[in-house]
Chain A
């Protein structure tokens, strides 16, 4: 089985999907001739032609808005938004139309489309290239929001997203794009949307994370095991919407403690939704208050401050230790 990084896994999966279904088209800024700024669509233009690998004019609302028309018209568009922080002009399309067209047409029409967006900090990118905007998106009924944290998951999630009858936005953690390689099966396979993943089992505390925070949680778990003998269960939420309540709640009921990790600012962040769910469904199993490790309530800073902003394994370990000390 070949070993791939996340960019290679996504690239090869797009290639398979384009090859097997002529209705699949890709569109975005600089995805054709240039192969995308992260090279996710490298060489696709020469393989599939400009009608299916569309270098669009520079306008995010139009990328998402025209994709909706294409989807209704029988194509399966996969949009690339160059960085998630540039998605905001397209929020109107996502909120007002893409997420609602099935409901507004009483189920007759659907937005069978995917939006991919690299996101998050950790690569010393310029300002406004590192936003974590997931909480704006999970508040949109009708839109599915998924976040892979490994190359193998990135493939299975992408296949499920493109085959889904409803619109899916995939947030691809920039920091994990080329972080390492792992075995990725060659054939098409699916990670069902709406399922979380237990990354490693543990008995003392659940650390719940997604995206680039999953490896951070894993590193913290290794250190905590080695240094303090704390057995951490690492849960990758993976699908923020729809949320796999069952897996999250079962983990917290088992361990009785939870820490939630995300890069986005604290207030109104997706961690609050997870805390609320745990509070509703696992309250009587809790041995200590649930805590969050997140970015502070400041705009994502210029990169000189990046290492302080993005949660680190050390911060996670510190908060886990505090929670473990509660009686």
Chain B
């Protein structure tokens, strides 16, 4: 049986596409933004200023470096935890906050990203269809779906990999194995030793990467992207990471997380690891880190202020975009709504 080595660039593996120092710095900067954003949003949630929210604490390398490996005209199909990737791909932070405030918003015109999928694994099929359209229209781009370990149990995951394999379309399945699907450990999700090996059954590439190693994530996504655009077909990437926070703000991980597990992962904090790596190459100083953190907090606070200054939602907005042209019956419902 094939083995599934964990690719780790910071650990010394030099056989993968490398990331320039400039790109690595940009990745680090965006990881700082994401960490600051999650910390701010968690505070806002406790103050009742935003609703239930799924933070990315601990998954910043997987989120940010993967999106940096894409090109602007690539499509992404995110799940609800992927605001970091959406941000890198062009979604303004304002939109992310609006989404967390219960207003539609995980979409921006001109950004090639689907609205975040809430049901699990359903959006992998959309990425496959997008990839089919890209190839059919001779656009040299890829589509990438973001999902977690729990999604690999859903039928749509298997249907998506199967269709992608049969069609050989330019799609990347980017799975962040963060160890937990709410309270269910990945060992209860599958009897497979790895998630990457599930690719074998569908005749597509399977890659296992240290998801807390930003440079390794960047490298393997770049490689999958090149393979896809050159007609080499789809890739399943299992990025092994760890969810250091709760599933969402409504979740209490102390109910199920073994004591000591979180502490054991703190040394693998992707932000610390990349910071140390860049400092070791003398391209990131302590002052740089402080400045980046302060800038991030300022930008996020400005976005929050802009969003909180917006007008409250209007009832018409609930009706407006259900159809391109509002049917008579719905128009009557809207009129009646206003009259009641």
* Closest residue on chain B to residue A70 by CB atoms: B129
> For chains A and B in complex, what number of residue pairs have CB atoms within 8 angstroms?
144
Inter-subunit contact B136/A97 (CB<8 Å):
no
Q: If A59-B159, A92-B119 touch, does A110 touch B324 (CB 8 Å cutoff)?
A: yes
Q: Does A325 contact B (CB under 8 A)?
A: no
CA distance A74 to B321 in the complex (A): 19
CA distance A194 to B328 in the complex (A): 9
Inter-subunit contact B136/A102 (CB<8 Å):
no
Q: Does B322 contact A (CB under 8 A)?
A: yes
CA distance A166 to B321 in the complex (A): 11
* Closest residue on chain A to residue B169 by CB atoms: A66
Inter-subunit contact A75/B324 (CB<8 Å):
no
Q: If A65-B125, A142-B322, A242-B328 touch, does A104 touch B107 (CB 8 Å cutoff)?
A: yes
A contact residues around B155 at 8 Å (CB): 61, 89
CA distance A104 to B78 in the complex (A): 13
Inter-subunit contact A92/B122 (CB<8 Å):
yes
User: Closest approach, in angstroms, between the C-beta of A21 and any C-beta of chain B?
Assistant: 13
CA distance A56 to B128 in the complex (A): 13
A contact residues around B328 at 8 Å (CB): 194, 242, 245-246
Q: Does B299 contact A (CB under 8 A)?
A: no
User: Closest approach, in angstroms, between the C-beta of A185 and any C-beta of chain B?
Assistant: 26
B contact residues around A141 at 8 Å (CB): 322
User: Closest approach, in angstroms, between the C-beta of B206 and any C-beta of chain A?
Assistant: 19
The stretch that binds A, out of B160-168, B185-193, B230-238, is: B160-168
Q: Does B97 contact A (CB under 8 A)?
A: no
Q: Does B123 contact A (CB under 8 A)?
A: yes
User: Closest approach, in angstroms, between the C-beta of B256 and any C-beta of chain A?
Assistant: 27
CA distance A101 to B323 in the complex (A): 10
The 8 Å CB contact of A106, one of B124, B156, B321, B330, is B321
Q: Does A108 contact B (CB under 8 A)?
A: yes
8 Å CB contacts to B: which residues of A47-76?
51-52, 56-57, 59, 61-62, 65-75
Inter-subunit contact A243/B329 (CB<8 Å):
yes
A contact residues around B166 at 8 Å (CB): 57
Q: Does A107 contact B (CB under 8 A)?
A: yes
Q: Does A165 contact B (CB under 8 A)?
A: yes
A contact residues around B156 at 8 Å (CB): 61-62, 65, 92
Inter-subunit contact B129/A59 (CB<8 Å):
no
The 8 Å CB contact of B115, one of A59, A70, A104, A164, is A104
Q: If A59-B159, A110-B324 touch, does A75 touch B107 (CB 8 Å cutoff)?
A: no
Q: Does A109 contact B (CB under 8 A)?
A: yes
User: Closest approach, in angstroms, between the C-beta of A86 and any C-beta of chain B?
Assistant: 14
For B310-338 the 0/1 string (1 means CB < 8 A from A) is: 00000000001111110111101000000
Inter-subunit contact A69/B324 (CB<8 Å):
no
* Closest residue on chain B to residue A246 by CB atoms: B328
Q: Does A105 contact B (CB under 8 A)?
A: yes
Q: Does B117 contact A (CB under 8 A)?
A: yes
Inter-subunit contact B162/A57 (CB<8 Å):
yes
User: Closest approach, in angstroms, between the C-beta of B43 and any C-beta of chain A?
Assistant: 27
A contact residues around B325 at 8 Å (CB): 165
For B99-141 the 0/1 string (1 means CB < 8 A from A) is: 0000011110100001101110011111111111110110000
Inter-subunit contact B122/A96 (CB<8 Å):
yes
B contact residues around A97 at 8 Å (CB): 117, 119, 122-123, 126
Inter-subunit contact B129/A66 (CB<8 Å):
yes
Inter-subunit contact A59/B122 (CB<8 Å):
no
CA distance A93 to B126 in the complex (A): 10
Inter-subunit contact A68/B125 (CB<8 Å):
yes
Inter-subunit contact A194/B107 (CB<8 Å):
no
The 8 Å CB contact of B136, one of A25, A61, A106, is A25
Q: Does B143 contact A (CB under 8 A)?
A: yes
Q: Does A182 contact B (CB under 8 A)?
A: no
B contact residues around A164 at 8 Å (CB): 324
User: Closest approach, in angstroms, between the C-beta of B159 and any C-beta of chain A?
Assistant: 4
Inter-subunit contact A107/B320 (CB<8 Å):
yes
Inter-subunit contact A105/B126 (CB<8 Å):
no
A contact residues around B126 at 8 Å (CB): 65-66, 68-69, 72, 97
A contact residues around B115 at 8 Å (CB): 101, 104-105, 109
Inter-subunit contact A103/B132 (CB<8 Å):
no
CA distance A75 to B104 in the complex (A): 25
User: Closest approach, in angstroms, between the C-beta of B185 and any C-beta of chain A?
Assistant: 25
Inter-subunit contact A69/B122 (CB<8 Å):
no
Inter-subunit contact A68/B119 (CB<8 Å):
no
Of A52, A62, A92, the most chain B CB neighbours within 10 A belong to: A62
CA distance A61 to B129 in the complex (A): 12
User: Closest approach, in angstroms, between the C-beta of B210 and any C-beta of chain A?
Assistant: 30
CA distance A103 to B323 in the complex (A): 8
A contact residues around B159 at 8 Å (CB): 57, 59, 61-62, 65
CA distance A2 to B75 in the complex (A): 46
8 Å CB contacts to B: which residues of A128-182?
141-142, 164-166
A contact residues around B109 at 8 Å (CB): 108
18 contacts between A and B (CB under 8 A): A59-B162, A61-B155, A66-B125, A66-B160, A69-B128, A69-B129, A70-B129, A70-B132, A70-B136, A72-B129, A97-B122, A104-B107, A142-B322, A164-B324, A194-B328, A242-B328, A243-B329, A245-B329
Q: Which 9 A-B pairs have the closest CB atoms?
A: A69-B129, A73-B133, A65-B125, A242-B327, A66-B129, A62-B159, A165-B324, A69-B126, A107-B321
Q: Show the binding face of A for B, using Cβ within 8 Å.
A: 25, 51-52, 56-57, 59, 61-62, 65-75, 77, 89, 92-93, 96-97, 101-110, 141-142, 164-166, 194, 242-243, 245-246
